[in-house]
Structure 1
Amino acid sequence: MASTDIDDVVGYWDRDARRDGDRVSHEAFGWTQYDGRGPGAEPLGGPRSALELGSGRGDAVAALAAQGVDATGVDLSGEHHRLALRTWGGLPGAHVVHGQGRAVVHRPPPPAAAGARPRGARRAFSHAPAVPGSHGVQGMCGDGFTGRQVWIHRWAHEPGTWADLLTEHGFTDVRVWVEPAPEPDHVGTLIGTARRG
């Protein structure tokens, strides 16, 4: 059986967009995989503008724009870009771009990618927590445990390691935590915020 590797990351996210269909919302901003769980836009610190890398169908961009933030989302998936344009293309303050944020989102860890950000800019990110005791690049089954073999690599660290990496790379006001899932034995969401010193 042939497998698909990270080289097909665009195809993976295009398939993800087709699975989501027209499920969209700009009523709330979310960091976790659970609707209505976790913080809203507070970790961003009330920006006038925001850039989201890997913006998917644009829901977070729309939620920020609805709050008066000039928000731009960049996504490498043409399917996600088309869905975002169709859904949010007329919303004032919401901009979606089809671009190669892949080098930033999928390859190096966020501290290395953020060096070009302006001083004082706040960086915020979320992802599934690292497997306990593991850090760095980790593999996962991109389509779950059924269907085609699709291997996706992601960067993941435990909260203390993220905090150390961000501090070492010149960030200040660092906060990294795991937002718990609604059920105690379910997967939470790691959320990190920091300011470029």
Structure 2
Amino acid sequence: MSRSSRTLPGYWDSYKPDKDSDSPAPAVDSFEWTQYPGHGEGEGILQQPRSALDLGCGEGKEAVYLARKGVEVIALDFSPVQVARARRWWGDTPGLSFVEADACQYLATTRSTYDAIYSIWGAAWFTDPERLFPLVAQRLNPGGVFAFSQAEPLEGFHGFEGLYGNGFTGRKLTVRRWSYSPEAWADLLKRHGFHDIEARVLEAPDPDDVGTLMVCAR
């Protein structure tokens, strides 16, 4: 049985799999929060930071976009495959470092602080906010921005969700994620010291399609 079917990091190794080790890097010409290219706001949500931390960077496109604009970026991912690919594509980008680490462990041990911490369909979706939010607050500079996006919640189904990462065959692999209404996210952030909170669902270009939860706070 493959590594990806046995371990949680292995599960994320298979996200946007790199089938060709010599495949070229994709174009980086926008900063995308949603699953629909060109839809919604760009990096302006982050309020022109000088430093930023990407929690769950995947292939790293948004981190590269910011670094090319002069932002000092640490791009974090739990998956060694994602980090290795990002380094192969963009490891020589000035001001950008890719780090293989768990989000909470990194935030709990680093001494660095940031003007912006963000998660695009990443760690903020798959980490208990009661653990993550206090750690994020400690690592933000005064006035710093915390922003994240993920799929809009299913109507009537809010809170902790569990699913089998391997589907319904093979070894059990539990993937955990947290999905709340915008109002509930705002309440969670307020309890952990954030303010100027905006939490909403951005409709898809076709209103019948799945929208994007957008959350931003200071």
TM-score (norm 1): 0.85
- Paired residue for 2:15? 16
1:98 and 1:25 map into 2 onto residues whose CA distance is 23
1:73 and 1:89 map into 2 onto residues whose CA distance is 11
Deviations 1:53-92 (A, max 9, x none): 1111111110101111111101110110011001111111
TM-score (norm 2): 0.77
Matched, 1:53 2:55: yes
Letter of the 1:188 counterpart: G
Letter of the 1:126 counterpart: S
Q: CA RMSD in A?
A: 2.5
* Matched position secondary structure for 1:84: helix
Q: Please, which of 108, 121, 124 is the counterpart of residue 128 of structure 2? A: 108
Unmatched segments (≥5 aa) in structure 2: 108-122
> Quick one: percent identity of the two aligned structures?
37
1:147 and 1:188 map into 2 onto residues whose CA distance is 29
Letter of the 1:114 counterpart: V
Q: Please, which of 80, 83, 103 is the counterpart of residue 81 of structure 1? A: 83
Instruction: Indicate the larger mover: 179-188 or 98-107.
Output: 98-107
* Matched position secondary structure for 1:182: coil
- Report the CA distance between 1:115 and its aligned residue: 3.4
- Paired residue for 1:157? 180
- Report the CA distance between 1:141 and its aligned residue: 5.6
Pairing of 1:25-44 with structure 2 (within 5 A):
25-44=27-46
- Paired residue for 1:72? 74
Runs of 4+ in 1 over 6 A off after TM superposition: 145-149
Deviations 1:135-154 (A, max 9, x none): 221134646x7986764220
Q: Please, which of 171, 183, 186 is the counterpart of residue 194 of structure 2? A: 171
- Paired residue for 2:118? none
Cα distance change, pair 42–80 in 1 and its aligned pair in 2 (3 A)? same
Matched, 1:139 2:141: no
2:156 and 2:13 map into 1 onto residues whose CA distance is 32
2:97 and 2:8 map into 1 onto residues whose CA distance is 23
Letter of the 1:8 counterpart: T
